[in-house]
Amino acid sequence: MQKIFAGLLFSIGFIFLTVTVSSLAIKNPTPKDRSAAAGGIMLGVPALAAGAWIVWKEKKKQDDLLEVRQRQLEFNFLTTLQANNGNITPIDFAIANQLSLEESKQYLDKKATELNANFEVTEDGGVSYKFYLS
CATH for 133: 1.10.10.10
Q: Is the domain of 40 the same as that of 88?
A: no
Residues 6+ apart with CB under 8 A from 10: 47, 48, 51, 52
pTM above 0.75, yes or no: no
Structure-model confidence comparison of residues 68 and 31, the more confident one:
68
Q: Which domain holds residue 61?
A: 1-68
Residue 119 burial (C-beta neighbours within 10 Å; 0-12, 13-18, 19+)? exposed
pLDDT confidence tier of residue 51, bands split at 50, 70 and 90? very high
Q: How far, in Å, CA of 94 to CA of 71, rounded?
A: 16
73 located within any domain: no
Q: Kindly state whether residue 75 falls inside one of the protein's structural domains.
A: no
**Helix, strand or coil, per DSSP, at residue 130:** strand
In a domain, 37, yes or no: yes
- Total domains in the chain come to 2
Domain boundary pick from 68, 101, 124: 68
User: Is 32 a residue whose pLDDT tops 90?
Assistant: no
- Conformation bin of residue 55: beta by default, left when phi > 0, alpha when psi is -120 to 50: alpha
The predicted structure's pLDDT at residue 125: 81
pLDDT at 35 over 90: no
Kindly tell me if the per-residue pLDDT of 55 is higher than 90: yes
Q: Is residue 76, in this structure, part of any structural domain at all?
A: no
Q: How many C-beta atoms lie closer than 10 Å to residue 108's C-beta?
A: 24
Q: For 121, phi and psi rounded to 5 degrees?
A: -90, 125
Helix, strand and coil content of the chain, in percent to the nearest 5, comes to 75, 5, 20
- Read off the pLDDT of residues 71-127 as tens digits, 9 standing for 90 and up: 999 999 999 999 999 999 999 999 999 999 999 999 999 999 999 999 888 788 888
